[in-house]
Amino acid sequence: MFRAVLLSLAVLLLCGPAQAERYKGFPRGHALIAAAEVNAMLEGSGPKPAVLAAVGKRRWLLAHIPGARHVPRRAYTDRGGMAPDRARFQAFARGLGIDDDTPVVIYDNAYDAARLWWLFRLYGKTDVRVLDGGWRAWAEAGYAIQRGPGGAAPKAGNFTAAPALAGWTAGMADVADARPEAGTRVWDARDTPEWEDTGPIGRARFIGWRAFRRADEGRPSEFRTAAEIGALLRQAGFEPEHDHIFYCHSGVRAATPMLALYLMGYPLERLHLYDGSWIEWSRRAANN
C-alpha cells in the first residue's frame, strides 16, 4: 500500500496536462486515465471525481473502487437499447451527484465505459475520462477496494445536459444512404462470428472492437497505443477527412472505435454512432 501511495504522488507531480494529453501517444490522451492518477485524485486535496462503475451486479458486489457509484447498463439505456433522451440522461447524471463541474471517471471490466463516455459527450459533458485497463488495472495496482452494495450519492447534482451533439449519432437513413465513394464509410464493430454469421449492413466493412484493445491478451478494457491503432487504421483504409459510422449489435461496442478515433484526433463532426445498430436494422429488413 505504501508503494501505491508513493506511485500516486509521483503521478500527481509528473502527469500534468501535457502528459495527460499525450497518454500512450494519443493526441487526445486526456480521455483516458491511468489507475495511479485516479487514486491520486481520490487521495489528494483537489476536486474529487465521480467514479462510475459500468459493470454487472456480481462484479460490483465482489469489489469496486471505494466511493464509486454502480451504473449498470440499464440505468442509462432507453427501450430497445437506445440512448436516453436529454431529460432522462440529465436525471441519471444528477442522481449520481454529478454537477456541471464534476470530473467523471468511468471504469468497466469489458467495454461499457466507452458507451457511457459517448453518452456524456452526446449531452455536453467533456471532463469525462475512461479508466484504461478498467477494474483489472485498479486491482493489479493494489489500491483500496470496497465490497458490498456501496452507498448512494450524498446529494443530487446540478448537471445540465446540453442539446444532443449534432452528428454524434447516426440514424437508419444515414446508414442506408452512406456511400464510400462520397466519403462516408460504415464500419461493423461486432465480433468476427457475428459478422460471418449475418454479414454486413449495406456496404459496411469489418473493424471489430477487439482490434482497438488488448482483448486477445485477456485485457478487453485496455486500449492499445496510438502507434498500434494508427497502424490498424492505415491498414483498414481510414481517412480523417471521411465520415465514419460505427455500429454493432446494440450500439455499445461501437463506442470503442468512436473513442479510439477521438483519441487519435479525428474531427468530432466526422464520427457517428448508429445507435439503433443491428437490432434496429434487422427489424427494418424483416419488415421489407
What pTM value is reported for the model? 0.91
Q: What is the pLDDT of residues 134-170, one digit of tens each?
A: 999 999 999 999 999 988 778 999 999 999 999 999 9
Q: Compute the average pLDDT of residues 94-104.
A: 97
3-state SS track over the chain: CHHHHHHHHHHHHHCCHHHHHCHHHCCCHHHEECHHHHHHHHHCCCCCCEEEECCCHHHHHHCECCCCEECCHHHHCCHHHCCCCHHHHHHHHHHCCCCCCCCEEEECCCCHHHHHHHHHHHCCCCCEEEECCHHHHHHHCCCCCECCCCCCCCCCCCCCCCCCCCCCEECHHHHHHCCHHHCEEEEECCCHHHHHHHCCCCCCEECCHHHHEEHHHCEEEEECCHHHHHHHHHHHCCCCCCEEEEECCCCCCCHHHHHHHHHCCCCHHHEEEECCHHHHHHHHHHHC
Q: Compute the average pLDDT of residues 49-76.
A: 96
* Model pLDDT, residue 288: 54
**Over pLDDT 70: what percentage of the chain?**
92
* Model pLDDT, residue 80: 79
Q: What is the pLDDT of residues 185-240, one digit of tens each?
A: 999 999 999 999 999 998 999 999 999 999 999 999 999 999 999 999 999 999 99
Summary mean pLDDT of the chain: 92
